[in-house]
Structure 1
Amino acid sequence: MRWQPTWTQAMTDFRGEDEEPPFADVTVRMTVPASIGGHHVRAELSNRFGDEPAVIGHGAIGVGGRWLDVTFDGQRTTKIPAGESRWTDPVELAVGHGDHVEVDLYLPEPTPYATANGFRFQRSTTPGDVVGSRRFPAAETGLASEGTGWSLPSGGPFLRAVEVSGTEAAAVIVCLGASITTMGWPQLTAARLPAGARIAVLNRGIPGNRIRHDAPSAHPSWGRSGLSRFDDDVLGTSGVTHVVLAHAGNDIGLPGDHAPLGELPTAAQQIDAYRQLVDRATAAGLGVALATITPMAPELGDDRELIRRAVNDWIRTSGHEYADFDAVLRSAADPARMAAEYDAGDHQHPNVTGENLLAGAMAEVIPRLLR
């Protein structure tokens, strides 16, 4: 079988973060959108940042209400060693562009919430194995209504990728970025493309992520730097053909508050980091697109705003295809500020409407990127 990724996330380190209680005798369900279809499906489960093996007691994949149990090398259960990952065996299950793929995992033993990403998943409110249950016993969560609040797509623990077989992808585009990427414009971009385009648009964003520096010790979930994780999260993606570099402004905004002030880059240093990623992508034969840095609120100061604008000027004149996320979201009255109608509330992250605008901007770039 020839496997193509239809959905991904970048796994990061939640050890030391008080995000979720540990699992024990609990079932988790993750529901993710498919960007391309196929007639077989499999999932990659990662224990990259676990300190102990993770025991999967039972798993299943569902599409459109049809559930099939999964095996691991023919076995119903598996133990994923710390630092490693496991693929499920393929199941014959039709997946279409835009379908929601559900992945259930029963975790029978005490298991820390260590290797994860995303914002939403379900954990069963009753103990025991309820894998594949049509009435999953969990509290419902959902996206904020259209046009208001934060865009919080599904993700969750262990699930690094979902792949399909039976479709030859025309392109596999990996989007490397931070929280604004994680919040879903890659999935929304994929949804805008016609099914016949056979283009996988994959999310490898991590909230708090930077290009030049790994996460500060107080916030390990902000992940390894873009330069550090490029090989794993871009080159390590099956069939990757293109990369979008959309890291936004954490390199500029975090130092002095959540990270040492000495890690604040000059514009030249930040541009050099982008160039390194571009060079590595080009050396691997990948097409490259960039995204400008969105407004970061004038409260950060004029010096940092000058860095942001200088980097954006370079992106616009670099000769690479780019999506002008800055132009899409900025206020006409104050270009340093995000327009109020697209602001999720903190003046740095777009709401659902803003994420959809970014998706529209990227969808316009993709045909040029594929020429």
Structure 2
Amino acid sequence: MSTHQTDDDMGWTPTWTQAMTDFRGADDEPPFDDVTVRMTVPASIGGSRVRVELSNLFGDGTVRIARSAVGVCGRFVEVSIDGQSSFEIPVGASRWTDPVDLTVSHGDEIVVDLYLPQCTPYTTANGFTFDRSLPGDFVGSRAFPLERSTPVEADASREFPAPNTGTNTGTAPGSEPDGNGWSLPPGGPFLRTVEVAGAEAKAVVVCLGASSTALGWPQYTAALLPADAGIAVVNRGIAGNRIRLDAPSTAPSWGRAGLSRFDEDVLETHGVTHLVIAYNSNDWSLPGRVTPLDEMPTLAQLIDGYRDLIDRARSAGLTVLLTTVTPLAPDLVGDPCREDFRLAVNEWIRTSGHQFVDFDAAIRSEADPSLLEDTYAAPDHTHPNVNGSKRLAQVMAETLTDGATSSGPTKATSTGPGGRGVRGH
């Protein structure tokens, strides 16, 4: 398998990632000015050294970071770039911090603190939850004074859950108190990747998708895998994302299409060995409702998009897994055009000869397979709730540990809510 590493980065493995997207002009978060941003992310694989990638891909101005640190289990180490503790990230660029000696274990929470001393717009970001301090530099502080704010509430009237207002308590996926509510994974501004060195990874699995992926099943999958499995599972999902078309100008945070960002978010992930293509219905559920109707693809065009992603991944030596498309929103089920489209996409995924994991069977209703099982449905009955994300993680973890991380041909297995096995090809 190709690992896409150079001599300079040999030995580094991503333990957590997110796909960066464009929040310019959005009102999700006010600018940062003399505040510390704290992001607490789960480690999917351990190591003895750490470095982080900071991105200003969509900024209109330079991002200045006056001080920063990485922490694990209460121990913080200040980080630098080129030996400088205060540094800048130019417009359109990403920069790696210098490595620091810090032991990380599978499942640890890694804390990344960034002190932003001057007015810095919330532009290049993703994720749903992070902490914003009261005014001041609190990098590495155990007593982190949170700015007063109101709790995040997902708005079921929106097509996609709102990507964050910076008000979380820093908890990683798996610690949510209510499994029936929204799963809001950690993330935040400017932080694109956390990598570790010092432990050999047997596989690096990149999960490319839209909102259901962004909501966190890849992180839950990583948490379910045994520490000695040596499998890193990282998230490159973006809420609202599509396979074929970039985000409309009215909603740039939905990101560039999977085909557009493939090289950046998949092939540039160090050590990548596997790709999971886990898109939902945005390509055909948005046109005519949120975007122009003429953006509606034919089934052949959408399948060509899948094939393009598969071919590019295989050309790079990657093993590819597809996931079936989970049920649509209840109001769309009554539209036979869109529901028939979903069924046709799933039929192709199940019969095309490609490895797949049957997410649809895992969380659909037994009584009405066109709908999500209530146990697994978020308030909008379109996205998985915490229980649903964990269920998807369960079937994915079973697949990865049953041999899908080998380089040879494998069969992916999923189980529906009633325990019916569904065999992939």
Q: TM-score normalized by structure 2?
A: 0.86
**2: distance between equivalents of 1:207 and 1:318?**
27
Question: Residues 221 and 396 of structure 2 are in contact (CA less than 8 Å); yes or no, is this contact kept in structure 1?
Answer: yes
SS of residue matched to 1:272: helix
Question: Residues 288 and 369 of structure 1 are in contact (CA less than 8 Å); yes or no, is this contact kept in structure 2?
Answer: no
SS of residue matched to 2:113: strand
**2: distance between equivalents of 1:74 and 1:297?**
51
Name the stretch that deviates more: 282-291 or 294-303.
294-303
Question: Residues 298 and 305 of structure 1 are in contact (CA less than 8 Å); yes or no, is this contact kept in structure 2?
Answer: no
- Does residue 167 in structure 1 map to residue 199 in structure 2? yes
Q: 2:100 corresponds to which letter in structure 1?
A: V
- Does residue 114 in structure 1 map to residue 123 in structure 2? yes
- Does residue 223 in structure 1 map to residue 255 in structure 2? yes
Determine the structure 1 residue equivalent to 2:353: 319
Determine the structure 1 residue equivalent to 2:378: 344
**2: distance between equivalents of 1:2 and 1:360?**
29
Name the stretch that deviates more: 311-320 or 148-157.
311-320
Determine the structure 2 residue equivalent to 1:38: 47
- Does residue 157 in structure 1 map to residue 189 in structure 2? yes
Determine the structure 2 residue equivalent to 1:90: 99
Cα displacement string for residues 173-216 of structure 1 (whole angstroms, at most 9, x for unaligned residues): 00000110011100100111110011000000000000010001
Cα displacement string for residues 62-114 of structure 1 (whole angstroms, at most 9, x for unaligned residues): 00000000011000111100000111111100000000000000001111000
State percent identity of aligned pairs. Answer: 64
**Pairwise CA RMSD:** 1.1
User: 1:256, CA displacement in angstroms?
Assistant: 1.1
In the TM superposition, structure 1's runs of 4+ consecutive aligned residues that sit over 4 Å from their partners are none
Determine the structure 2 residue equivalent to 1:147: 179
User: 1:146, CA displacement in angstroms?
Assistant: 3.6
- Does residue 255 in structure 1 map to residue 298 in structure 2? no
- Does residue 297 in structure 1 map to residue 329 in structure 2? yes
Determine the structure 1 residue equivalent to 2:341: 307
**2: distance between equivalents of 1:274 and 1:145?**
36
- Structure 1: gaps of 5 or more residues: none
User: 1:304, CA displacement in angstroms?
Assistant: 0.5
Count of paired positions: 370
User: 1:258, CA displacement in angstroms?
Assistant: 1.5
Determine the structure 2 residue equivalent to 1:184: 216
Question: Residues 178 and 205 of structure 1 are in contact (CA less than 8 Å); yes or no, is this contact kept in structure 2?
Answer: yes
Determine the structure 2 residue equivalent to 1:73: 82
Question: Residues 216 and 258 of structure 1 are in contact (CA less than 8 Å); yes or no, is this contact kept in structure 2?
Answer: no
Cα displacement string for residues 340-371 of structure 1 (whole angstroms, at most 9, x for unaligned residues): 12111112101100000000111122133223
Determine the structure 1 residue equivalent to 2:140: 132
Name the stretch that deviates more: 290-299 or 97-106.
290-299
User: 1:298, CA displacement in angstroms?
Assistant: 4.2
- Does residue 19 in structure 1 map to residue 28 in structure 2? yes
Question: Residues 330 and 381 of structure 2 are in contact (CA less than 8 Å); yes or no, is this contact kept in structure 1?
Answer: no
SS of residue matched to 1:271: helix
SS of residue matched to 1:209: coil
Determine the structure 1 residue equivalent to 2:67: 58
Q: TM-score normalized by structure 1?
A: 0.98
Determine the structure 2 residue equivalent to 1:359: 393
**1: distance between equivalents of 2:228 and 2:91?**
39
- Does residue 275 in structure 1 map to residue 307 in structure 2? yes
- Structure 2: gaps of 5 or more residues: 1-9, 148-167, 407-425
SS of residue matched to 2:24: coil
SS of residue matched to 2:200: coil
SS of residue matched to 2:345: helix
**1: distance between equivalents of 2:291 and 2:245?**
10
Determine the structure 2 residue equivalent to 1:369: 404
